Amino acid sequence: MKILVCISNVPDTTSKINFTDGDTKFDTNGVQFVINPNDEFGLTRAMWFKEKQGASVHVVTVGTAAVEPTIRKALAIGADEAIRVNAEPTDGYFVAQQLAEVIKNGEYDLVIAGRESIDYNGGMVPGILATLLDMNFVNTCISLEIDGETVTAMREIDGGKEKIETSLPLVIGGQKGLVEESDLRIPNMRGIMMARKKALNVVEPITADKATEDAKFEKPAPKGAVKLVDSVDALVDLLHNEAKVI
């Protein structure tokens, strides 16, 4: 089985976010970038298939040379090979078109993407990928088992979970549940040294449409002052007379 894991290069959630050029561009200065958490759950599950079923695992990202430390981390975790599409990931549709071209050329059985990235939270790439490739698709996937060509998956739905049986080739939008946070892997020294010898192939982007562009960014309004109360009666009074929500 040949698996491709799609990796997004996203700001660490502890980073201080700023914008430049009249709030039209994201300021990357001083920002630490990491593997998108939903993608990291998928990568860890792919490593399980590698260890238990002998799968080969490739990782791919769309980005400039600045994203290579992130993709190298994926190699250090255990991926066999990496691909970087040499383009700025301007929007989800553009990214999906680039990834689809890589998948067509690589003939992958299973494509694992995070259900969304934690920077823009668009949640569109996995579904667009499956449509472009005419592959089966399971979104919000929290469990994945594969026996030959048969796939058993579990996905989150409103109010519960849904068990699905499908077949390869398959695209999934994964999240926590594919593995737990305690299962995530930290690269060790041996993995880091081996990653330096693994292939990181840079491919040029195809000509593709960009469906959207960023007009302006805006930070959330600062939090208001906190008012502490020492009794239920005082809280009810404030909610009724001041906040007017009851």
Q: What is the pLDDT of residues 1-55, one digit of tens each?
A: 999 999 999 999 888 889 999 999 999 999 999 999 999 999 999 999 999 999 9
Element at 131 (helix H, strand E): helix 125-133
**CB atoms < 10 A from the CB of 92, how many?**
21
User: Band of the pLDDT at 208, cuts 50, 70, 90?
Assistant: very high
User: Band of the pLDDT at 226, cuts 50, 70, 90?
Assistant: confident
In one letter, which amino acid is 31?
V
> Domain spans of the chain?
2-220
Rounded (10°) angle between helices 68-77 and 37-53:
30
Question: Which superfamily does 2-220 belong to?
Answer: HUPs (3.40.50.620)
pLDDT value for 76: 97
Rounded (10°) angle between helices 125-133 and 92-106:
40
Q: What is the pLDDT of residues 41-80, one digit of tens each?
A: 999 999 999 999 999 999 999 999 999 999 999 999 999 9
pLDDT value for 243: 85
Mean of pLDDT over the chain: 94
